Amino acid sequence: MSVLIRPVISEKATNSSELLGQYSFYVNPKANKLQIKEAIEKAYGVTVTKVSTLISAPQVKTRFTKTGMQTGKTNKMKKAIIHVAEGQEIDLFS
């Protein structure tokens, strides 16, 4: 089971990583906090001090086509917010 899916690249996530040392990742929905911590430490070589997780609800998307209005929804995603030790950082753009 692959624990890490991809980092969250957004304006809010980038600001929190630069200012607070918190990094956001999309993770496998079945992964727990210990598995996430071990995967981050192994992949990036940093010391993780805290892991917070949240599950985002699916969003309803609507598009208008020739045949009418089509509605659907996105998948729910599990997001992990990683707090690293003081003075350490993760380079997501290398």
Q: What CA–CA distance (Å, rounded) separates 27 from 18? A: 21
Question: Is 91 inside a domain boundary?
Answer: no
What digits encode the pLDDT tens for the residues 21-80?
A: 999 999 999 999 999 999 999 999 999 999 999 999 999 999 999 999 999 999 999 999
Q: What CA–CA distance (Å, rounded) separates 27 from 24? A: 9
Mean pLDDT in residue range 6-26: 93
Question: Is 44 inside a domain boundary?
Answer: yes
Question: Is 63 inside a domain boundary?
Answer: yes
Question: Is 94 inside a domain boundary?
Answer: no
pLDDT value of position 57:
93
Question: Is 93 inside a domain boundary?
Answer: no
Domain residues for the domain of 76 are: 4-84
How many independent structural domains does the chain possess?
Answer: 1
Q: What CATH number has the domain bearing residue 59?
A: 3.30.70.330
Question: Is 16 inside a domain boundary?
Answer: yes
Question: Is 92 inside a domain boundary?
Answer: no
| pLDDT bucket at 94, cuts 50 / 70 / 90 | confident
